Amino acid sequence: MPISHDTPPAISSSSTYELDTMPQSESSTVRIPSSSTTDLPASNTLSTEPSTVFNTPRASTSLSNLVDAYKAREEGKKLSGEGVEWLVDPPSAVKEHDAPSSLSRLDLPSSPRSQETITIHKREESGATTHPEDSEQYIVKVEGDKDPLDAHNLPFAWKFLACFSVAFNALIVSSFGSAYLFITPDLEQAFGASQTVVTTGFVVYVIGWGPGPLIWAPLAESIGRKPVYIGSSLAWTCFNIGCARAQSVSTMIVCRFFAGFFGCACLTNGGGTNTDIFAGLAIARSIALYSAVVFLGPVLGPIIGGAIQTYAPSVGSLEGDTAGWRWLFYAAIISGAFSTLLYVISPETLINKRLQRRVKERRQRDPLHAPLYGTEADKHGMSTVAKMASVAGGAINMLRSEPIIVFVSLWQTTVMAIIYLFFDAFPVVFGLGHGFNAFQTGLTFIGCGVGMLAACLWSLTVDLHLWIRRLKRANMERQPEMRLPQGLMGAFLTVIGLFWFGYTSFPSIHWMVPIVGSAVYSFGALSVMLSTFAYVVDTYLARSSPAFAAIGLIRSVAIGVFPLFGAQFYLNLKPRNATLILALVAVVEIAIPLGAMKWGQRLRNKSHYAMKTT
DSSP-assigned states of every residue in 317-349: EETTEE-TTHHHHHHHHHHHHHHHHHHHHSPP-
454 and 500 together in one domain: yes
97 and 157 together in one domain: no
126 and 174 together in one domain: no
Would you state the pLDDT for residue 381? Answer: 66
Is 381 a domain residue? Answer: no
Q: Which of 132, 164, 190 is the last residue of a domain?
A: 132
In this structure, which amino acid lies at residue 40? Answer: L
Q: Which of 132, 160, 182 is the last residue of a domain?
A: 132
What is the domain-level CATH number for residue 253? 1.20.1250.20
Q: Which residues of the chain have pLDDT under 50?
A: 1-64, 66-67, 69-70, 74-133, 317-321
127 and 237 together in one domain: no
- Report whether 344 contacts 472 (CB < 8 A): no
Is 383 a domain residue? Answer: no
Would you state the pLDDT for residue 113? Answer: 41
Nearest to 332 by CA among 262, 273, 269, 422: 262
Residue numbers of the domain that contains 411: 395-614
Residue 572 CA: distances (Å) to CA of 29, 171, 435 = 88, 33, 19
Cβ-in-10-Å burial (0-12, 13-18, 19+) of 158 comes to middle
Would you state the pLDDT for residue 588? Answer: 93
Number of domains in the chain: 3
73 and 194 together in one domain: no
**402 vs 452: CA distance, rounded Å:** 30
584 and 550 together in one domain: yes
126 and 94 together in one domain: yes
Is 138 a domain residue? Answer: no
- Region at 320 (left for phi over 0; alpha for psi -120 to 50; beta for the rest): left
561 and 438 together in one domain: yes
40 and 179 together in one domain: no
121 and 255 together in one domain: no
Is 141 a domain residue? Answer: no
Nearest to 325 by CA among 438, 235, 233: 438
103 and 209 together in one domain: no
Is 442 a domain residue? Answer: yes
Nearest to 593 by CA among 505, 531, 539: 531
480 and 549 together in one domain: yes
Q: Which of 354, 385, 413 is the last residue of a domain?
A: 354
